Amino acid sequence: MRKVLVTGGLGFIGANLVPLLGRAGHNVIIFDNFSRGSVDNLVDSNDCQIIKADIRDSEALNEALANEIDSVVHLAAYGSVVESVASPEDNYSINVEGTFNVLNACRKNNIKKMVFASTGGALIGNANPPVNENSVPRPISPYGASKLAGEGYCCAFANAYDIDIVALRFANVIGPISWHKKGAVTAFIKAIMEGEPLKVFGDGSATRDYLYVEDLCRGIVLGLEAQLSGFNAFHLASGNEVSVNQLAEAVCKVADELNHPIEYLDKRPGEVERNFADYTLAKRVLGFSPQYTLEQALAETYTWYKGYK
């Protein structure tokens, strides 16, 4: 079996990805500092080796990757735009220095394949959608800047050290095991469950692209198994532009709370106005195509939240 190390493997995306990797024939080693992930998140992968360590610990990374690892999926990150604005130092330390450490450990241990979890909207910034791989990145938050820096180092290491690296620019991901996340879907569902108003920052016209986590994880597996040389970047998205107001309405419909109150607050700094991505390149090269509609994704997510509570 091929051995793949997944950083952040106990988090939202990692815990959904690990079982899929196992079914695809990979022997998975999880590298996680337990700051936001938990072993309880793993449903049917309890036999995975788990290394409790931080990606900023170079010695721990080198030791982990010295164990005949074939490839790395680098998910571990400081993943919130709002938190990055409040604490740019932590965002830089984890996302930039941490990613450099992962890449350098791959170099030292002759790892020749890596998938890097990047982002679409935050990295590109305010651009006329749909964005694609030719869009010029102009991030407006420390989070977006950190992911752009990560892609820059990935491109440099791919060329300087002959490592095949696929950067996947995620849309806004929703689905099970996301209770700890900071996104709008999580906030809306929790507000409905707690009988509180939905809080919308701005007038609700800002748009995003929402992707179900199972679709995303299938895209990650495709990226990992693709026979591509050097550095390659792809957008993994639904291709659908959804306003915050439309999202709020859809969540209320799924929860059967059509008249749930909504409270409008001041817009938060660092967040883009409009964003959705064209995934044509990922479809053509990787064979990626999302299967879940927004309504289906929200229904699956809401069902999980009700069961978790």
151 lies in the same domain as 67? yes
Task: Write 194-198 long-range contacts (CB < 8 A, 24+).
Answer: 197/260, 197/261, 197/262, 197/263, 198/248, 198/251, 198/252, 198/260, 198/261, 198/262, 198/263
Identify the pLDDT of residue 137: 96
232 lies in the same domain as 271? no
Identify the pLDDT of residue 43: 74
Identify the pLDDT of residue 250: 98
Query: Catalytic pick from 78, 92, 143, 212?
Result: 143
Cα 275 to Cα 136: distance, rounded to the nearest angstrom: 14
Helices 98-108, 58-65: crossing angle, 10 deg rounding: 40
If we measure between CA atoms, which residue out of 172, 276, 168, 173 comes closest to residue 226? 168
Identify the pLDDT of residue 249: 97
Domain range for 76 is 2-174+209-239+277-291
| 229-274 tens-digit pLDDT | 999 999 999 999 999 999 999 999 999 999 999 999 999 999 999 9
Outline where the chain has alpha helix (H): 12-23, 58-65, 81-86, 88-92, 98-108, 121-124, 142-161, 184-194, 213-225, 244-254, 280-286, 294-308
Using left for φ > 0, alpha for ψ between -120 and 50, and beta otherwise, residue 170 falls in: beta
263 lies in the same domain as 132? no
What lies within 8 Å, CB to CB, of 45 at 6+ separation is 18, 19, 22, 28
116 lies in the same domain as 245? no
Asked, for residue 75, whether it belongs to a domain, the answer is: yes
Q: What is the CATH number of the domain that holds 24?
A: 3.40.50.720
Question: pLDDT in tens for each of the 309 residues of the chain?
Answer: 799 999 999 999 999 999 999 999 999 999 999 998 888 888 765 678 999 999 999 999 999 999 899 999 999 999 899 999 999 999 999 999 999 999 999 999 999 999 999 999 999 999 999 999 999 999 999 999 999 999 999 999 999 999 999 999 999 999 999 998 989 999 999 999 999 999 999 999 999 999 999 999 999 999 999 999 999 999 999 999 999 999 999 999 999 999 999 999 999 999 999 999 999 999 999 999 999 999 999 999 999 999 987
Identify the pLDDT of residue 38: 86
126 lies in the same domain as 253? no
Identify the pLDDT of residue 45: 59
Asked, for residue 179, whether it belongs to a domain, the answer is: no
Asked, for residue 111, whether it belongs to a domain, the answer is: yes
97 lies in the same domain as 169? yes
169 lies in the same domain as 247? no
Q: What is the CATH number of the domain that holds 198?
A: 3.90.25.10
102 lies in the same domain as 228? yes
163 lies in the same domain as 39? yes
Asked, for residue 260, whether it belongs to a domain, the answer is: yes
- The total number of structural domains in the chain stands at 2
197 lies in the same domain as 152? no
Asked, for residue 41, whether it belongs to a domain, the answer is: yes
Between CA 192 and CA 54, with CA 82 as vertex, the angle to 5 degrees is 105
229 lies in the same domain as 193? no
**Is 279 an annotated catalytic residue?**
no
Question: What pTM, to 2 d.p., does this model score?
Answer: 0.96
12 lies in the same domain as 146? yes
Asked, for residue 27, whether it belongs to a domain, the answer is: yes
- What 3-state class would DSSP assign to 268? coil
Identify the pLDDT of residue 47: 77
Identify the pLDDT of residue 182: 86
Identify the pLDDT of residue 46: 60
